[in-house]
Amino acid sequence: MTDYPQMNQTLYEGRAPLVKEMTEKALAEGLNVQEVLEEGLIAGMSVVGEDFKHNRLYVPQVLIAARAMKAGMSILKPLLLEGGASSSSGTVILGTVKGDLHDIGKNLVGMMAEGAGFTVVDIGVDQSAEQFIAAVREHNAGILGMSALLTTTMPYMKVVIDALREEPLDHVKVCVGGAPISEMFAEEIGADGYGADASRAVELFQELYPIPV
Ligand code: B12
């Protein structure tokens, strides 16, 4: 029987092969994918976040825990993608802003959006306004999704939005997310939407996508 607190602890300790195994076992027991993601993986990562904040954990330990989280996510990914529409609901460019290397949340948003039938082009972390805009043009995307996890990098989202609005790309909808981002901040910087988590992100993409499916 899957024991979520034990799975959280294993993730906390950064034991990637064991987290992977526990994720597989949870699915084999017939547990719901979303539940395994939230109760087994995200809940463990939240404890890591809290302990990091209070200096009970340091960067190397957080990196090791993040690797364990990714190992579990690699098992869930195909299932999160299952049931996606056969034709694309549109193209979303996803990336983490300049100066910021956090990508776990962004990757989750990407997986869930692909699962909902979007074509996701993930341009990675530490992305400049020029790189975001080039990707939007190249892929003729309808949505640009930006992630930021640091209070020092979140203002860069406005730099990207301002640069985008100077281009003839007004039809592109901009969505923002990441732990320090709020609805109010999204409004302030002129974003079209804010998603607190991956499920909300997908709903947002569906609401905002300018091309009817
Ligand atoms: C893992 C982690 C790291 C890992 C990152 C590994 C990786 N590959 O991502 C490493 C060790 C590299 C790291 C480094 C640093 N980190 Co760090 N990190 C974290 C930690 C513990 C967890 C983040 C995470 O993955 N959460 C889990 C995911 C699932 O949640 P999420 O990212 O919020 O994403 C969800 C939503 O926000 C939303 N979402 C996310 N993106 C998007 C995008 C769109 C478009 C939408 C709609 C929605 C959306 O949906 C996601 C899924 O539900 C957080 C703590 C925290 N509570 O956030 C600190 C945290 C973000 N880090 C912090 C700090 C300070 C740092 C460092 C500066 C530490 C240092 N001294 O070097 C460096 C900075 C490196 C850099 N330049 O980016 C601070 C930031 C404080 C602040 N006020 O800015 C935090 C908050 C920790 C803390 N409490 O002090 N970190």
pLDDT in tens, 1-23: 999 999 999 999 999 999 999 99
pLDDT, position 211: 45
Q: Do 122 and 147 form a contact (C-beta atoms < 8 A)?
A: no
What are the tens digits of pLDDT across the range 164-189?
Answer: 999 888 889 999 999 999 999 999 99
In sequence order, the β-bridge partners of residue 194 are 176
Q: Is 208 a pocket residue for ligand 1 (Cβ < 6 Å)?
A: no
The pLDDT assigned to 130 comes to 97
Output the pTM of the full model: 0.86
Q: What is the pLDDT of residue 182?
A: 98
User: What DSSP line would sit under 16-33, residue for residue?
Assistant: HHHHHHHHHHHHHTT--H
Residues 6+ apart with CB under 8 A from 200: none
Give 68-93 as a 3 state SS string: HHHHHHHHHHHHHHCCCCCCCCCEEE
Give the Å distance between the CA of 102 and the centre of ligand 1. Answer: 5
212 CA to middle of ligand 1, Å?
34
Domains with residue ranges and CATH for the chain: 4-81 (1.10.1240.10), 91-208 (3.40.50.280)
Share of the chain above pLDDT 70, in %: 94
Q: What pLDDT, in 10s, does the model give residues 89-133?
A: 689 999 999 999 999 999 889 887 887 778 999 999 999 999 999
- 151 CA → ligand 1 middle, Å: 10
- Residue 95 gets which letter from DSSP? E
| Protein residue closest via CA to atom 90 of ligand 1 | 53
Of the ranges 71-85, 97-111, 133-147, which one carries the lowest mean pLDDT score?
Answer: 71-85
Contact partners, residue 54, CB within 8 Å, separation at least 6: none
63 has a pLDDT exceeding 80: yes
Residue closest by Cα to atom 49 of ligand 1: 177
Please count the CA atoms within 13 angstroms of the CA of 136 that sit on its side-chain side: 26
